[in-house]
Amino acid sequence: MEKLSKLPKLYLVVVFIILYTPIFYLIFYSFNSGGGMSNFESFTFEHYAAVFEDTRLIIILINTIVVALLSALVSTAIGVLGALSIVFMRNKAMRNAVLSLNNILIVSPDVIIGASFLILFTMIGVKLGFASVLISHIAFSIPIVVIMVLPKLQEMSPTLIDAALDLGASKRDVLTRVIIPFIKPGILAGFFLALTYSLDDFAVTFFVTGNGFSTLSVEIYSMARAGITLTINALSGLIFLVTVVLVLGYYAVSRKTKTPLSGVKK
Amino acid sequence: MRHMGYRIMNNKPLRPLYTIPYTAWILLFVITPIALIIYYSFFDLAGHFTFDNYKNFFSSVYLKLTISSFWYAFLITLFTLLFAYPTAYFLTKTKHKQLWLLLIIIPSWINLLLKTYAFIGLFGLYGPINALLETVGIGNQQILFTDFSFVFVSVYIFIPFMILPIFNSLDKLNPALIDASRDLGANSWTTFRRVIWPLTLNGVKSGIQVVFIPALSLFMITRLIAGNKVITLGTAIEQQFLVTQNWGMGSTIAVFLILFMFIIMLITSSSDRGTTINGKIK
């Protein structure tokens, strides 16, 4: 393989600087004792203290995490069942049709998902708030889990199932002792992606959340519309830390199980 | 994989049980929402059946809006591609390319709202960019709330999503093909144009797909960064649904957005299945 010469290296460095500047800029000013994101006065942790003292913000943070964990858990369960249903479908045309339906929510713009779910919840009478947000997050995470699990299932040799059946395994045994262990990396990847999709979602939540319930993204949006508050900066410092730990953890897990990083998040 | 379930699933009564949740999901959250959007697009504010929303959509206001939304999405996609392709190309040549790729992707895992918020400070009147312009001698400029800042921030947000599929297709490229092209006397440009580009076109197409469709429907960045100067189809839908509460008109715009989405998917769908779905952007 040819070596990189100076100019391409410089180009990559510039791209990296541009990609990371906004993030480090936010974190840098989170330590500013002055009020804004210019003129660094002196070093302080007061904005971090403000994050932890703000009970409203803490509640929103907990809401966000609860919604993310619950939606990831439920969507992983339904997604795995969905992937199994697709794989066991014998009609090829039917399978392709279901796959296309599956992918609709992945490519749909969030505005469409948000608006249509808003209509749906209003029609069937789901109160806007925690329930509607959770259901929406489950709904838009399911296709991602399916996409992550399906390749693993397709990789699996049918002879494994035959062997298990020949050796006297029941259908339940085949599922829990043969299929599930085999597709575990896909399930983990799906769960992780569902988690991050939920944590990061703004547009869908913005549509289906009522007055009383808010997630972090929606809260940051309304705070940012009001202007610059360094509490947001402190929050982003904390989020950056957690994200890096999560990503490195995911990287370690996926390297161990040899599944390449196959999805990005918005 | 074809007949994987042949033996295990020939037990008919068991089959519906485990397919129920997923089938229910498809019916309730994929088919019903689209049907509801189409249904609502035929009703006016007072709840009467009407074609007025469609008539309105073809009025000059909405046509202009659609054209400008496409124009901005085009610009965003173009600049994203222009920056992403070389980045992906050089990345494949680095020593620890998977690690570098991960580093490129990490910013995309940071909450979108936070990154957008950062630009409010960066581009602000007293922000570092203006301070830099001042020292260079250009002087203070209004950067925030302009078309430029909107396109810039959008490109910034979308770049990792364009890099990933292109990186994957470049990574799959057999290096022997490039050597062969060189040996046969092609220069770097010809090699790129006749060998590398055609072979990575599928990656580019899926990159365009994951950037162009969301770019049409951005509304958060338009509000925070473009200060309502730029109106996209997404902004219009949000406005109709959440501000004016005119769900009928909002649904009509949504119907067209869905139509555009399908057209774009048809144009950019690649023969290579593996690269079509790489993620989505909120």
Q: Residue B279 carries which DSSP code?
A: B
Phi, psi (rounded to 5 degrees) for B43: -120, 145
Helix axes A6-29, B147-172, angle to 10 degrees: 130
The DSSP secondary structure of B45-104, one letter per residue, reads TTS-B-SHHHHHHTSHHHHHHHHHHHHHHHHHHHHHHHHHHHHHHHHHTSTTHHHHHHHH
Runs of H (alpha helix) within chain A? 6-29, 46-53, 55-87, 92-107, 110-124, 130-155, 158-166, 171-173, 180-200, 203-208, 216-226, 230-256
**ipTM attached to this prediction:** 0.85
- pLDDT, residue A200, reads 87
Which of A3-7, A113-117, A255-259 is least confident? A255-259
In chain A, residues with a C-beta closer than 8 Å to the C-beta of B112 are 200, 202, 217, 266
The chain B residue lying nearest A244, using CA atoms, is B106
> Closest partner residue to A116 among B37, B104, B110, by Cβ?
B37
Reduced to 3 states (helix: H, G, I; strand: E, B; else coil), residue A7 is: helix
Q: For residues A89 and A98, is the Cβ–Cβ distance under 8 A?
A: yes
Please indicate if any CB of chain A lies within 8 Å of the CB of B34.
yes
**Each residue's pLDDT tens digit, B216-273:** 988 888 888 988 788 899 999 999 999 999 999 999 999 999 999 999 988 887 554 4
Euclidean distance between the first and final Cα of chain B, in Å?
Answer: 34
**Hey, which residues 183-212 in chain B have their CB within 8 Å of chain A?**
209
With tokens 């910034």, the residue in question is B156
**Confidence category of residue A257, pLDDT binned at 50, 70, 90:** low
The rounded mean pLDDT for chain A is 88
Does A241 contact B at CB distance below 8 Å? no
CA dist B269 and A183 (Å) reads: 28
Does residue B139 come out as left (phi exceeding 0), alpha (psi in the -120 to 50 range) or beta? left
Q: Which residue in A214, A63, A210, A74 sits closest to A137, CA to CA?
A: A74
Partnered with residue B43 across adjacent β-strands are: B49
Half-sphere exposure of residue A158, counting CA atoms within 13 Å on the CB side?
11
Q: Give the DSSP per-residue string, B162-214.
A: HHHHHHHHHHHS-HHHHHHHHHTT--HHHHIIIIIHHHHHHHHHHHHHHHHHH
Q: Would you state the structure tokens that stand for residue B199, as one six-digit string? A: 């072979």
Identify the band that residue A260 occupies on the pLDDT scale cut at 50, 70 and 90.
very low
Judge residue A158's burial from the number of C-beta atoms within 10 Å of its C-beta, 0-12 exposed, 13-18 middle, 19 or more buried. middle
Q: How confident is the model at residue B11 (pLDDT cuts 50, 70, 90)?
A: very low
Query: What pLDDT does A258 receive?
Result: 52
Contacts of A208 in chain B (CB under 8 A): none
Q: Which of A1-10, A37-46, A60-69 bottoms out in mean pLDDT, i.e. has the lowest?
A: A1-10
pLDDT at A81 over 90: yes
Residue B179 main-chain phi, psi, to 5 deg:
-60, -45
CA-wise closest residue to A142 among A76, A68, A67, A73: A76
Task: Identify which of B109, B164, B214 has the shortest CB distance to residue A109.
Answer: B214
**Rounded Cα distance, B207 and B280, in Å:** 10
Q: Is the pTM of this model over 0.95?
A: no
Residue B281 pLDDT > 50, yes or no? no
CB-facing half-sphere around the CA of B208: CA atoms within 13 A: 19
A232 touches B: beta carbon within 8 Å: yes
Three-state secondary-structure class, residue A32? strand
Q: What is the dihedral of CA B147, B151, B157, B162, to 10 degrees?
A: 170
A35 touches chain B (CB under 8 A): no
Judge whether B160 and B87 are in contact, CB under 8 Å.
no
> What are the pLDDT digits (tens) for B111-159?
888 999 999 889 988 888 888 888 888 878 888 888 899 999 999 999 9
Residues 91-120 of B with CB under 8 A from A: 91, 93-94, 98, 100-120
Tens of pLDDT, residue by residue over B170-227, are: 999 888 898 898 889 888 889 888 889 999 999 999 999 999 999 998 888 888 898 8
Do the Cβ atoms of B122 and A21 come within 8 Å?
yes
Average the pLDDT over A194-212 and give the result: 91
CB contact A68 to B (< 8 Å): no
Q: Which residues in chain A are contacts of B242 at CB distance < 8 A?
A: 206-207
pLDDT of B282:
37
**pLDDT at residue A22 greater than cutoff 80:** yes
Given this model, what pLDDT does residue A2 score? 54
Q: Quick one: CA dihedral A117, A123, A125, A127, positive or negative?
A: positive
User: A60 at the B interface (CB within 8 A)?
Assistant: no
What is the length of chain B?
282
Name the token pair of B150.
């909107």
Helix A110-124 and helix B247-268, axial crossing angle in degrees, nearest 10: 140
Q: What mean pLDDT comes out for the span A58-83?
A: 95
The answer to whether the CB atoms of A115 and B109 lie below 8 A apart is no
- If pLDDT is split at 50, 70 and 90, which confidence band does A198 have? very high
Q: Does B227 touch chain A (CB under 8 A)?
A: no
- For residues A94-110, average pLDDT: 91
> Which pLDDT belongs to residue A259?
47
Question: A262 falls in which pLDDT band (50, 70, 90)?
Answer: very low
Is A107 within 8 Å of B120 when comparing Cβ atoms?
no
Helix (H, G, I), strand (E, B) or coil at B217: coil
Q: Closest residue of A to B168, CA-based? A: A262
